[in-house]
């Protein structure tokens, strides 16, 4: 697996692993199966693992803490902070709102270190920009954590170009994480160019469209009732029906290359620049192994352009998030 740089501090596998679905939002899975997948990921060369205090909440960090015991030198662990929680309820019901006040930043880091059973967080992200707290104050607290040796590098998630510039002026930002895929292209206009100007790595989450760009999902009720994706516009039956032709075209392009739709979707993202890494989620070892082969797929300029035009965000029906979730997106 080729390594790519995130800022000046980190070298990570070009295909990482988004761990959220193992514990949160997508229905989760048995702990033993999740740990087996995490161990297999290390075996095949994945070094970059992405989690957050939100995922559970807290359960996903605990899972990784168990899985990576004795394997710490083989993994780069990224986690995120930025919410306040109730002591009651389950999942999203426990989330009370955003909180990126300096005191919470530092308390969240200490709690994540304990759950992950590590001495230092490799990459510590602000999960969502908190409009109630100046980004300079939040990043100042994150910088204090770096100075204290509790964090190696810091990042932002779903931040606007203007916020990225302000944050980077306080302390170097190593990575910006945003949703980016064939049919979620918003970062291309301002965020990715800003990252390149400042030497910041870009981490593409949901590069497979939360599963839709695997070409295997349909309207047959394959998602469990507790799966959070059922609340998203693109997963509503009428929108899935409207997007069927896009997925059909993607499968046809992939078939001509003798690869899967998931693999060619990931390959397209990786071909957008050597400063971009991906963190597709996977709960099954088979899918994990398939995803890591995406880096080996060679796409020429004509093929990249064909994919870009065929599965463009202009053609997709449905927003990537609900209006409530979009209200937390910076900018």
The reply to whether 55 belongs to the active site is yes
d(CA 208, CA 214): 6
What b/e sequence results for 213-238 when a residue is b if at least 16 CB atoms lie within 10 Å of its CB, and e otherwise? bbbebeeeeeeeeebbbeebbbbeee
Tokens of 276: 């971009």
Q: How deeply is 317 buried, as exposed, middle or buried, from its count of CB atoms within 10 A (0-12, 13-18, 19+)?
A: middle
- Write the CB contacts of 180 (distance below 8 Å, at least 6 apart in sequence): 186, 187, 188, 192, 202, 204, 205, 206, 207, 269, 276
Can you list the alpha helix ranges (DSSP code H) found in 217-276? 237-242, 244-256, 261-270
The single residue of 55, 125, 180, 321 carrying the catalytic annotation is 55
d(CA 28, CA 196): 35
The DSSP bridge partners found for residue 124 are 79, 154
Which residues form the catalytic set?
55
């Amino acid at each position: 697996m080729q390594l790519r740089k995130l800022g000046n501090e980190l070298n990570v596998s070009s295909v990482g692993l988004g761990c959220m679905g193992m514990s949160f939002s997508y229905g989760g899975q048995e702990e033993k199966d999740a740990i087996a997948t995490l161990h297999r990921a290390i075996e095949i060369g994945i070094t970059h693992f992405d989690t957050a205090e939100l995922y559970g909440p807290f359960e996903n960090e605990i899972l990784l803490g168990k899985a990576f015991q004795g394997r710490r030198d083989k993994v780069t662990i990224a986690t995120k902070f930025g919410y306040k929680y109730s002591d009651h309820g389950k999942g999203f019901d426990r989330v009370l709102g955003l909180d990126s006040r300096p005191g919470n930043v530092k308390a969240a880091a200490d709690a994540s270190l304990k759950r992950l059973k590590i001495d230092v967080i490799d990459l510590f992200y602000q999960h969502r920009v908190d409009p109630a707290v100046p980004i300079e104050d939040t990043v100042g607290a994150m910088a204090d954590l770096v100075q204290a040796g509790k964090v190696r590098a810091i990042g932002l998630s779903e931040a606007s170009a203007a916020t990225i510039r302000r944050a980077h002026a306080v302390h170097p930002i190593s990575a910006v994480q945003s949703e980016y895929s064939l049919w979620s292209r918003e970062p291309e206009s301002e965020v990715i160019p800003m990252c390149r100007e400042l030497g910041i790595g870009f981490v593409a989450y949901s590069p497979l469209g939360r599963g839709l760009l695997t070409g295997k999902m349909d309207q047959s009720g394959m998602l469990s009732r507790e799966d959070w994706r059922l609340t998203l516009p693109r997963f509503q039956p009428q929108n899935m029906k409207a997007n069927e032709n896009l997925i059909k075209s993607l499968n046809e392009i992939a078939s001509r290359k003798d690869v899967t739709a998931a693999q060619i979707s990931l390959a397209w993202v990786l071909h957008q620049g050597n400063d971009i890494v991906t963190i597709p989620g996977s709960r099954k070892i088979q899918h994990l192994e398939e995803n890591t082969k995406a880096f080996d797929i060679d796409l020429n300029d004509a093929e990249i352009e064909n994919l870009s035009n065929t599965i463009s965000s202009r053609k997709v029906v449905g927003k990537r998030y609900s209006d409530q979730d979009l209200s937390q997106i910076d900018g």
